Amino acid sequence: MIIAAMILTFNAFAQDGKTIYTRYSDLPEVEAVYISPAMFRLIGRIPNLQLENEDGTTTDLSPLIQSLSGFYLISSEDEGVKARLDKDVRSFMEKGAYELLLEAKDHGEVTRIYTVGDREYVHSLVMIAIDGTETTFICLDGRIRQSDLDDLVAKAQ
């Protein structure tokens, strides 16, 4: 029973943003970007990394950036890749402990954002955006304080 439980747990978490990135990043029909933990540490050392909001106020992005340990982006306009990527991300979300945070549909375009974490931290945030010509997958991994993410979203709105 213990071995069966271990196998099921392993299979549930076998896919992550890096797995999907690795699967698609070398395809010629794909644009891919990876940012390493070392780069996030380097960027996080920049003092006063400010983002100006529409209302003229600013938001310090340093705490959020310092909490990241990986960024994975896959984008493609190829119909076959788009269909496989959407299917893989849906499978990835169904197998893990991810929760649908947001879904927006507008004139055939769909954006879904999923998160996994606890009350204090978000450990992974996944976004997939599908429109008529392009599908984009973004995964942010780390230990993001829920309050920092909430503040950023509130100020962005």
pLDDT digits (tens, 9 = 90+) for 115-128: 888 889 999 989 99
pLDDT for res 8: 37
Could you read off the pLDDT of 42-82 as tens digits, one per residue? 876 776 677 777 777 777 777 778 888 999 999 999 999 99
State the pLDDT confidence band at 155, using cuts at 50, 70 and 90: low
Residues of the domain holding 136: 15-156
Could you read off the pLDDT of 19-29 as tens digits, one per residue? 899 999 999 99
Q: Look at residue 120 and tell me if it is in a domain.
A: yes
Domain count across the chain? 1
Q: Look at residue 68 and tell me if it is in a domain.
A: yes
Distance CA 94, CA 104 (A): 19
Chain mean pLDDT for the chain = 81
Q: Are 61 and 51 in contact (CB under 8 A)?
A: yes
State the pLDDT confidence band at 153, using cuts at 50, 70 and 90: low
Could you read off the pLDDT of 86-105 as tens digits, one per residue? 899 888 788 877 888 888 99
Q: Look at residue 95 and tell me if it is in a domain.
A: yes
Q: Look at residue 38 and tell me if it is in a domain.
A: yes
Q: Look at residue 41 and tell me if it is in a domain.
A: yes
Q: Look at residue 61 and tell me if it is in a domain.
A: yes
Residues in the chain: 157
Q: Look at residue 113 and tell me if it is in a domain.
A: yes
State the pLDDT confidence band at 32, using cuts at 50, 70 and 90: very high
Q: What long-range pairs does 56-63 form, CB within 8 A, spacing at least 24? A: 57/155, 59/151, 59/152, 59/155, 61/152, 63/145, 63/148
Q: Look at residue 5 and tell me if it is in a domain.
A: no
Instruction: Please indicate, yes or no, whether the overall pTM of this predicted structure exceeds 0.75.
Output: yes
